[in-house]
Structure 1
């Protein structure tokens, strides 16, 4: 372990030194016919004279670079050609190449060290719902890179963005209607080194229809109580609730029949996973209708299935040699996309496009946990085993329409063309988990070899089957208008707009428990015990109940936001640019907990009564004004540069709690498998944002950008540990007294000889959260969750002179970051350790229409680790998760 860390540290130092070497202005002589002297964005490849390469890179590079330079507020952009070069398959991975962006759990972006709650995500400028059960943020791993035209990460706030802004705003801009005929077919395969004959699968496949109809009907019939006693109360014809022997037997038989309706075919077995599979088709064209009109359309389809082992090793921080577990976990992940877009263009002054997108994501997981503790010691031949299966189906549906219109100047030389753009977005998401199973057992093992000798389902416990459903709908629309004015020494643009966002969410959760008593019928695995024949045998002690768990879990919620903004953008003498404006938002939200098993109406009436209370916490409203200002100095030829820009900006923004965090409910976080409780008294976090950014563009496409940022966060939202039992963890949320984060970002591109180029970005930052001293934290003053002292991206690229070969070696590392703050135990905080990702992509173009692409991911074969120091000063690795090295090969043909 020490050797691995040392090598990783040396690699970081070496690449950091190379990054800083670009601080010196460098100019590489280029032939004008081969290398147009245009500013190029960071992480971009040099442009070659080959027509094929120009088509892939130059046009996109010019557009991206020009947009970045013309934007009044600091932003980082990545085009589709850059994403293709590094071979990233989804938006989440692609964003890790952007300066100051890190990835959490493979799908949530952290911008400038601030967690996902501080980052907002838009799709073509519109907000979309999240399929996540426990978060409002969109998991970016479900958006395939193949449909992305560009990614924009805006780090300085502007009034045309939602006021919910912390680390930055990510806008995913999908490919629009093409200008010419496009027909592309891609096929691919791959594998991960962690896969093999020890992969896990299970018999039932998990794809049931959710809560069985017979149980749903029985809940109504027996008033939410379908255990034996609850059924007997309804069957009883006596005043004193006594039952006849026949009714008593009938209640048992009804209970057993309901039990049989549950999919119990969840026996886990070893199997070898097949190779990864992926395919994609894109078809589009445009047609001229006379001299003025053009129409076009595009179709996209893609599907990708991967099998991954995500094995874990866990150790208790207090007694790591006594309390530990090994988790064997295999996940089958399938992502599907279908989209269609149509557009019409009139004289390039009026463009209207409409699109429909359907994204599906299915995951099927089987896991075996083998655990040891003080009561189950391996030396005594005892071991706990837990069987878990979980199938999840997520579907995101988005319908959007956009328009851009330019109107000729009205009169005189002062007024320019009036520009108006608008959008309408109707999106919905549904997530289903139709019976995730958790069953506990006891293993008898050979102390010497660890071989399992026998298994028995734990008596006096329950087999748990969770049925969860989430529906989220978002309607979003708005418009923006710009009026340019031209004076002798100044250019002024007046702009303004309006947006409306309406979000509704329904979350319903049922948990069915099959309680078991003692007896020889418990010998064996779940596939041996929970059979139809054993359940039908009334001598075996089985009982079905619906759990109220740890309180109300289901809820309904809604959010509505009306927003107006105005902005002035003035440029003086082509040297100074002042942009200032403000946004007004009227924000309303309501979160109402629901007890699905309460048929008395008592809890509903209590909720209604509380809504009339002026101190109620279920619904809230706030409106405020959020100002923003940016000052830019521009100079051509400054310090050997072709173009130089210096930007300063300030903005006031807000970060609001997630719906679940505000709800008075308790739920299970599927990522951490721990209980989480909402806090209705949670307040918004208010932020003051300061940025300074310098941009240097040199001849030959070389460029350098350096940024300083500071954010002051009042009432930062953090997690804390609530009092619970010794074997239980209950997390909740609270507002810290204060928080701040500041740092330096450096990025640049250096073109080398013989077709090579080097690009890199480095973020150095620090943060601090101050919590209440009596909240029980080990460290009341500590770093913010997810913030790393450094984040480094580096890429060495190559393009052959004949345009037939391209390669990229990409490296990414983030320093350790706080995973969670320790409380009540006296142990130190837990930190996720640095993870070095070294990836390689090679592309071969034997002819212009054909592409072969080979990708290698995590060449260093590192695992993810979380460590924590205990009371004895021992640094314990409490969690290790296998990642493995992934290999893939894609073949694409353009007709």
Structure 2
């Protein structure tokens, strides 16, 4: 038996040796003919009629082993012409085949949406994630299109551990909200469009301008240190094909809005989203307000239109100029009704309303970019982006108002129009000096203008004796018109140089040293004027029509003394103001070193000099005051990547960062909403953050992923929004305790369930990600009283972070059918998202925390190509139409303080490519 086994083993060795002796190799370099023969990573290279194949590496290189003989090499990439190259393999030798491929006559949709150059393809981004040293997640234009995502705010919620605050573009990363996150575009910072927010609303960015979105949840020294949750980097379109022109038109409805017979908006603002309503001349002595207080009825059907085009020009032997532009407009109507309450710890009403909200939003986007590549090693590009967004809201609150309408007979009508204009200008350069030395730079000048012209609010109560409504006259602010403007300019510069060292025997470098400088300089000017209408005593019982208040508030009644107009300064029209200035100078260094063939480390150190000054002159501090601070921050970071094999990675990251307070949070300015009032805190100071991540990744195929992450954060002196112990229950921003921590796990899987077909394609794929976390922070009322002038009594001594859900889920199932001959296709995607309960605001004065209840949403997206030019798309979103609820967790029971449904959103769109 032993002899038989030995004989078989020897025979096997001979066969194996003989077989290997009949083998040879083919290797080479694949380059991009459209980009001056730049190396192309992730290109599919296969030997025809076999299963032998692989993708090119980051340097465009490949190597395959096959039997000796004649073969055909197939080189393919989405958006490029497939090339077949006959060749011969000789035993024990390597055949070299280098090939440049181009886009050629491939259909335009593939070039624009899926080409390697624009890095919008899901597979390409996933492979880049596999090969990168950094820990990050990317979501590209192809995936956004498949999931029917139309704005960046919704886009980022499709990634692990991220949710969006209801009714806004504010996101939470791993339970950390606006103050802990940052936003950049092409690596350069962009300003906020909201005086209450650090980050710009991501909802104003149409995905038409996006190549891909990069989400960094792990800090590196090349990033600004004001970071704890994550950084969202919007990478703009970078056109590199020959030419394209595309036109799109669509229509959409909200089922709540179209079912409302009387959809009413305030008069005055333009439906285009471009309006100008300056403070009238001499408003204290002459009634000269332009906008009417009579609402107008509109038909709530909305739509969108867009045009996109690009062209490339060869200049000289190596030069190439790429131009791309897009312009679009979209609008939308929404309607919701439900309850909106404010109660104390004993559940007694402070305000209790049945609320109706009629909303109309617009977004106009224009983008132009130009990229000029001198040669393979030198490129400069210019990006211009203009976004005009508007929001028009007509709110009606009916019910209980303490001291005014305690028989549930109150009515507040509030009309708010907001217009934001963002302009982004960026100039970027990338230069490869030689094989060792690279130099990159970028500079930007951005400007944001935010206007809230002529917000109107009127408070009334129903007088049964008069069988009609009377004006509330408790305070002059019960009836007012309000003007607010914000202007912020920001200049930024990034400069970095990288030097590779220690070349090994395979001509690869083991190390890289990167040194750089970042500068960020911004100034904000904010002013607000409120005109309060003081109703004369003899007019307090006058019956008025709440839907025709122009009949009372007009020039004739003003001249007759029925009412007077004043500001918080009496007869002085000077606005309340606050101004902010913030300058950051930063130097950083990174050392990347390959400790072994499988283990790579990146050690970073960043030094920042921070200056922030806020000055104000407001109704609660009319003397004019300013507060400033300067800080030096030293921020180390460490990253380790262990490549188990070419399909598996283990990564570890650790860092220190900080969190700055914002201008509005430190200015003694009061902002009044219907159910809450916010005031700044001059004593607010930065938090310190310590971050740790451990991640495992497995890539079964190029377009598949399984990953598991464990993370932790420790925050010193965390900042929260809390209610002050005051007669008006103002909300302010406070360092509420000594420390807080967050721990969690994340899981993600992308998998092809099946893929069939040779000529035509049938593919079913699924994606799922989940995040589970626990957050906890200390709450110390005595600490707050010692550090500020504010008297607060926090209900609890510990709580979770505001905005943090324990559980987040995202899942999608997509089916793709392609007909190659007719160039037609059909893709259907079902997407589901869920977040569990999360704290909206911390409880004070024995009141419980305000908690946003769990919500799950389901969307259906269908995208089709009828032929190579014509496309038809359909989307049905929020199919489950869950109830949006907020409760106050009082000792006796939970009290619902907010409740409504959003309705379904249906859209139909048509695209045509010339």
So what's the TM-score if we normalise by structure 1? 0.82
Cα displacement (A) at 1:622: 0.7
Residue number in structure 1 paired with 2:734: 733
1:790–1:589 Cα change, 3 Å: same
Distance 1:290 1:541 in 2: 77
Are 1:772 and 2:801 matched, yes or no? no
Deviations 1:105-138 (A, max 9, x none): 3301111111111111101111111110212211
Deviations 1:331-373 (A, max 9, x none): 1111001121112112221111112211101122211110125
Map 1:131-150 onto structure 2 (within 5 A). Answer: 131-150=193-212
Residue number in structure 1 paired with 2:840: 819
Distance 1:591 1:210 in 2: 26
Q: Bigger CA drift: 47-56 or 715-724?
A: 47-56
Cα displacement (A) at 1:524: 2.6
Map 1:643-792 onto structure 2 (within 5 A). Answer: 643-668=647-672, 674-699=676-701, 701-725=703-727, 728-753=729-754, 754-774=762-782, 775-792=792-809
Distance 1:705 1:31 in 2: 33
1:493/1:570 contact within 8 Å kept: yes
1:281/1:301 contact within 8 Å kept: yes
2:772/2:808 contact within 8 Å kept: yes
Residue number in structure 1 paired with 2:375: 347
Query: 5+ residue gaps in structure 2?
Result: 1-46, 58-76, 83-105, 755-761, 783-791
Residue number in structure 1 paired with 2:496: 480
Cα displacement (A) at 1:70: 3.2
Tell me which of 320, 327, 332 is aligned to 1:294: 320
Tell me which of 527, 551, 556 is aligned to 1:508: 527
Cα displacement (A) at 1:728: 4.6
1:433–1:858 Cα change, 3 Å: same
Distance 1:697 1:31 in 2: 24
2:620/2:668 contact within 8 Å kept: no
Cα displacement (A) at 1:859: 0.4
Residue number in structure 2 paired with 1:358: 386
Residue number in structure 1 paired with 2:23: none
Distance 1:740 1:850 in 2: 52
Map 1:374-453 onto structure 2 (within 5 A). Answer: 383-409=409-435, 416=436, 418-444=437-463
Tell me which of 887, 895, 904 is aligned to 1:876: 895
Distance 1:586 1:509 in 2: 32
Distance 1:263 1:718 in 2: 40
2:874/2:908 contact within 8 Å kept: yes
Cα displacement (A) at 1:553: 4.5
1:39–1:459 Cα change, 3 Å: farther
Q: Bigger CA drift: 112-121 or 802-811?
A: 802-811
Deviations 1:520-572 (A, max 9, x none): 5453325254343642552x4311111249x9942111000111101110113
Are 1:167 and 2:176 matched, yes or no? no
Map 1:805-816 onto structure 2 (within 5 A). Answer: 805-816=826-837
1:570–1:152 Cα change, 3 Å: same
1:533–1:589 Cα change, 3 Å: closer
1:529–1:691 Cα change, 3 Å: same
Cα displacement (A) at 1:38: 5.7
Map 1:218-229 onto structure 2 (within 5 A). Answer: none
1:552/1:665 contact within 8 Å kept: no
Residue number in structure 2 paired with 1:547: 568
2:736/2:780 contact within 8 Å kept: no
Distance 2:576 2:639 in 1: 45
Map 1:451-466 onto structure 2 (within 5 A). Answer: 454-459=468-473, 461-462=475-476, 463-466=479-482
Corresponding residue SS for 2:199: coil
Residue number in structure 1 paired with 2:877: 857
1:888–1:631 Cα change, 3 Å: same
Tell me which of 526, 530, 537 is aligned to 2:552: 530
Distance 2:175 2:51 in 1: 40
Residue number in structure 1 paired with 2:22: none
Deviations 1:4-30 (A, max 9, x none): xxxxxxxxxxxxxxxxxxxxxxxxxx9
1:635–1:445 Cα change, 3 Å: farther
Map 1:67-86 onto structure 2 (within 5 A). Answer: 67-86=128-147
1:837/1:860 contact within 8 Å kept: yes
Distance 1:846 1:453 in 2: 62
Distance 2:447 2:138 in 1: 27
Tell me which of 774, 794, 812 is aligned to 2:811: 794
Deviations 1:67-126 (A, max 9, x none): 312332211110110011111110000111011010013301111111111111101111
Map 1:303-314 onto structure 2 (within 5 A). Answer: 303-314=329-340
Are 1:631 and 2:627 matched, yes or no? no
1:36–1:306 Cα change, 3 Å: farther
Are 1:558 and 2:578 matched, yes or no? no
Distance 2:828 2:52 in 1: 19
Cα displacement (A) at 1:789: 0.7
1:717/1:735 contact within 8 Å kept: yes
Are 1:584 and 2:607 matched, yes or no? yes
1:441–1:193 Cα change, 3 Å: same
Corresponding residue SS for 2:218: coil
Corresponding residue SS for 2:221: coil
Residue number in structure 2 paired with 1:328: 356
Residue number in structure 1 paired with 2:127: 66
Distance 1:162 1:700 in 2: 32
- RMSD of aligned residue pairs (Cα, Å): 2.9
Residue number in structure 2 paired with 1:614: none
Distance 1:311 1:718 in 2: 29
Corresponding residue SS for 1:752: strand
Structure showing greater relative contact order (alpha-carbon pairs closer than 8 Å, 6 or more residues apart): 1
Distance 1:327 1:735 in 2: 32
Deviations 1:300-328 (A, max 9, x none): 10111111113341234444789621111
Q: Bigger CA drift: 569-578 or 711-720?
A: 569-578
Cα displacement (A) at 1:62: 4.3
Residue number in structure 1 paired with 2:173: 111
2:878/2:903 contact within 8 Å kept: yes
Are 1:200 and 2:264 matched, yes or no? yes
Residue number in structure 2 paired with 1:97: 158
Distance 2:318 2:597 in 1: 35
Query: 5+ residue gaps in structure 1?
Result: 1-29, 41-45, 216-225, 227-254, 410-415, 447-451, 608-616, 637-641
Corresponding residue SS for 2:256: coil
1:552–1:745 Cα change, 3 Å: farther
Distance 1:477 1:792 in 2: 38
Cα displacement (A) at 1:54: 6.2
Cα displacement (A) at 1:665: 2.9
1:183/1:894 contact within 8 Å kept: yes
- What is the aligned length? 779
1:315/1:876 contact within 8 Å kept: no
1:329–1:644 Cα change, 3 Å: same
Which protein has the bigger helix share? 1
Residue number in structure 2 paired with 1:229: none
Residue number in structure 2 paired with 1:266: 293
Cα displacement (A) at 1:390: 1.2
Cα displacement (A) at 1:479: 1.1
Corresponding residue SS for 2:623: helix
Distance 1:791 1:504 in 2: 37
Cα displacement (A) at 1:466: 0.6
1:474–1:673 Cα change, 3 Å: farther
2:292/2:550 contact within 8 Å kept: no
Distance 2:544 2:883 in 1: 36
Residue number in structure 2 paired with 1:19: none
2:608/2:634 contact within 8 Å kept: yes
